[in-house]
Amino acid sequence: MNNQGVLGIFSYVDLTVNAVKKLKEEGFKTIRVFSPVPNHEIEDVMGEPESIVRFFTLFGAMLGASCGVGFTVLTSMDWPLPVSAKPIVSIPPFIVIIFELTILMGALSTLLGLLINSRLRRNAPVDMYDPRFSEDKFGIMVACDKGNVEKVQGILNSHGAEEIKVDGI
Amino acid sequence: MSQQTSLTYAKVNEDVIRMLDKPTVKWLALFVPTLGVVGFGLFCFLYQVYTGLGAAGYRHPIFWGVYITDFVFWVGIAHSGTLISAVLYLFRANFRMSIYRIAEGMTVFAVLTAGLFPIIHLGRPWFFYWLFPYPNQRELWVNFKSPLLWDVFAVSTYLTVSSVFFFVGMIPDIAAIRDRVTEKPRKILYSILSLGWKGSNWEWLHYTRAYLFFAAFATPLVLSVHSVVSWDFAMANLPGWHTTIFAPYFVAGAIFSGLGMVITLTVPIRKIFSLEQYITLDNYDGMAKLIIVTSLIVGYAYGVEFFMAWYSSNPAEWGQFYYRATGEYALFYWIMIFCNVVSPLPLWFKSVRRNIKALFIISIFINIGMWFERFNIIVISLSRGFDPASWGIYKVSWVEIGITLGSFAWFFMFFLIFIKTLPAVSIAEMKEILPVPKKEAKGHE
């Protein structure tokens, strides 16, 4: 049962990255790294699969384009406005509407994808945070069972954590 | 970026959040008169609704006047915000980091201002929702072949997407403010707005990816919006309007005017909040170079319009352009040429590009020049159509001036509220261009 959370606070990226490496070697799976800026080294060491937000974007954009086509074509046919011999369904002017709806729905579904996937509300079994993470500190949170708390504390300590907090249910 | 090496992560937080301290007397001294002018604009609008559009100086043959000029002007101002935040993001131009938040805020507020004008311009403004396609009892749909309807879609999409982009960009910064403020009401407000952001690797992973997509969507969008606005004119068969160069001509003009407005706004903010370490001379240098490029494109468009009118041997077209430069409105035409083509020329010199006062003055000229450009295109073209029997002169009324002033105040009102409630400089992105804190080889990346 991973119901204990251990949080280590660091000042330097390289120390944080080394500590994560060690924790991974020791077999800890539920690790979260906090940082004030996105950082490639942290991203590399965490090795998370690529973000699936892109599928939300793709799906939203395709849905928007289909809505644009459907909307313009069907409403034009529903109430035809014949102007001399010009076509009722005239594609060039509709492209503008289709284009705008593609972007609108693509962007909104990207937002939805971001909100769902980054789990802005809750992102681990145990929730730990320190306000300094939005300023200049880096943090590692490990969720583990009771017996492993001391081991995790030892690893964080030996890798230069400045402060360690333990929390659990 | 040599000037920025003395900054640290903690100092960035401190400096940006310091801007959100209690409003000073100076701020109130700006804000209260601004509200007064907004009130006057509202009064003018109510007077016009009560009296009818004759109060707006509309006389045959000119039924598009200052309001449509204002509409195009404000949509144009909005453009450089997205240019700086999205296009320069895709090009990884670091000089955008310190100014993009202000530019983005400017975009959102300028679109909010622009969106009012088509409604103000309506004879029965309370029926504005007829522009939107919705099922109704008359079973009528809007005409999707009309450029005016394209405008509805383009501008409302632009408002939505730029607001989302603006808000998403701020989430990590709002979290930083949340972690720092102590008063209960502010803490609650920023906690809600931050959506529970913690800066974990999960959040950053999806956030950076989503941000890239927003930028990728906003880039074609920004080009499409002003193209669509230009087609409001270009699709009509009127000398001075009916031309294929309008889309690129309007887009370049929009970016040009927007950059002018960014400089006009950032110069006082930089001074008041002592942001010299953030908004550096390099940043201004970068913007000034973009101004040169767009000014050249706009100047070229002015020349090509004349060339095409002459080379086409179309008497109506040539008559229109000859009239622009020599007729009753010639003063406005030459103000436009001076402000947009001549006044940016000193920017070719590096010493001018790095001189804040000179830049500020040039930026004011650009704002004026670009307003007159839209006025010239709209009003002069309408006043001399094909048929000499329907030529006419248009005089601006006090109601229109009042509403135009009100629109500027409306824009500045949002802006003043923005710099006191939300982070005007991006905290997270400023940190990205600082050296990463490392134990080994400290101070280097």
Q: What is the pLDDT of residue B444?
A: 45
- In this predicted structure, the answer to whether residue B438 has a pLDDT above a threshold of 80 is no
Q: Which domains are delineated in chain B? A: 2-20+58-134+141-395+422-432 (1.20.1630.10)
C-alpha Rg value of chain A to the nearest Å: 25
Give the model's confidence band at B441: pLDDT under 50 very low, under 70 low, under 90 confident, else very high: low
Q: Looking at the predicted structure, is the pLDDT value of residue B201 above 70?
A: yes
Residues of chain A in contact with residue B198, where contact means CB-CB under 8 angstroms, are: 34, 123, 129, 133
What residues does CATH 3.30.70.120 cover in chain A? 4-49+124-168
What mean pLDDT do residues B387-398 have? Answer: 88
pLDDT digits (tens, 9 = 90+) for B68-125: 999 999 999 988 788 888 888 888 777 777 888 888 899 999 999 999 999 999 888 8
What tokens appear for B97 in the block? 């980091």
| B52-68 mean pLDDT | 87
Query: What DSSP state is assigned to residue A51?
Result: P
pTM score of the predicted model: 0.90
pLDDT tens profile A96-108: 999 999 999 999 9
User: What integer pLDDT is reported at residue A124 of this predicted model?
Assistant: 56
B432 pLDDT band (50/70/90 cuts)? confident
Greatest Cα-to-Cα distance within chain A, rounded to the nearest angstrom: 84
Query: In this predicted structure, what is the pLDDT of residue B281?
Result: 87
Min Cα separation B442/chain A (Å): 9
What integer pLDDT is reported at residue B2 of this predicted model?
43
B192 has a chain A CB within 8 A of its CB:
no
What confidence score (pLDDT) does residue B3 get? Answer: 47
Tell me which fold the domain A4-49+124-168 belongs to.
Alpha-Beta Plaits (3.30.70)
Residues A148-168: what's their mean pLDDT? 80
- In three-state secondary structure terms, A76 is helix
Structure tokens at A50: 């690529």
What pLDDT does residue B411 have? 93
pLDDT > 90 fraction of chain A, expressed in percent and rounded: 22
Q: What are phi and psi of B21, to 5 degrees?
A: -60, 170
Residues of B in contact with A108 (CB under 8 A): 160, 164
- Could you tell me if residue B139 is left (phi over 0), alpha (psi between -120 and 50 degrees) or otherwise beta? left
Q: Of residues B88 and B250, which shows the higher confidence score? A: B250
C-alpha B303/C-alpha B311 separation (Å) is 12
Split at pLDDT 50, 70, 90, the class of B268 is confident
Residue of A48, A135, A142 to mutate for B, most B C-beta atoms under 10 A: A135
Secondary structure of residue B370 in the 3-state scheme? helix
Of B213, B110, B114, which is closest to residue B163 (Cα–Cα)? Answer: B110
State how far the Cα of B104 lies from the Cα of B214, in Å rounded to an integer.
13
CB-hemisphere CA count at 13 Å for B91? Answer: 11
pLDDT tens digit sequence for B2-12: 445 577 888 88
> Among A125-134, B159-168, B178-187, B331-340, where is mean pLDDT lowest?
A125-134
Inter-residue contact B16 to A36 (CB < 8 Å) = no
CB B155, CB A96: distance < 8 Å: no
Cβ–Cβ contact B428 with A under 8 A: yes
ipTM summary value = 0.88
3-state secondary structure B76-119: HHHHHHHHHHHHHHHCCCHHHCCCHHHHHHHHHHHHHHHHHHHH
More confident residue, B177 or A125: B177
Report the alpha-carbon distance of residue A3 to residue A127 in Å, rounded: 10
B440–chain A nearest CA distance, Å: 8
Per-residue model confidence (pLDDT) at position B1: 43
Do β-strands A138-144 and A163-168 pair in parallel, antiparallel, or remain unpaired? unpaired
Chain A residues whose beta carbon lies within 8 Å of the beta carbon of residue B210: 51, 53, 57, 110-111, 113-114
- In whole angstroms, what is the distance from residue A140 CA to residue A156 CA? 8
Of residues A66 and A86, which shows the higher confidence score?
A66
User: Residues 6 or more apart from B147 whose CB is under 8 A from it?
Assistant: B228, B231, B232, B235
Quickly state the pLDDT bin for A119 (edges 50, 70, 90).
Answer: low
Which residue in B150, B157, B181, B194 has the most chain A C-beta atoms within 10 A of its own C-beta, making it the best mutation to test that interface? B157
B154 touches B174 (CB < 8 A): no
Establish how many alpha carbons lie within 13 A of residue B93's alpha carbon, considering only the half-sphere containing its beta carbon. 20
pLDDT category at A2 given cuts 50, 70, 90 is low
Mean pLDDT of B425-437: 80
Say whether residue B314 is in contact with chain A using an 8 A CB cutoff. no
pLDDT surpassing 90 at residue B307: yes
Mutate to test the interface with B, among A118, A127, A132, A142 (most CBs of B within 10 A): A118
Cβ pair A99:B224 closer than 8 A: yes
The reported pLDDT for the residue numbered B5 is 59
pLDDT of residue A110: 92
Spatial CA neighbour of B99 closest among B221, B292, B252, B267: B267
- Which chain B residues are closer than 8 Å to A106 by Cβ? 213, 217
Residue pair B76/B370 in contact by the 8 Å Cβ criterion: yes
**% of chain A at pLDDT higher than 70:** 93
Using the 8-state DSSP alphabet, how is residue B279 labeled?
S
Chain B interface mutation, best of A14, A100, A117, highest count of B Cβ atoms under 10 Å: A100
Nearest chain B Cα distance for residue A64, angstroms: 12
* Average pLDDT of the residues in A12-27: 83
The per-residue pLDDT of chain B, averaged, comes to 88
For the segment B217-246, the average pLDDT, to the nearest whole number, is: 90
Reported confidence tier of residue B53, pLDDT bands at 50, 70, 90: confident
B166 touches chain A (CB under 8 A): no
Is A123–B179 a contact, with Cβ atoms under 8 angstroms apart? no
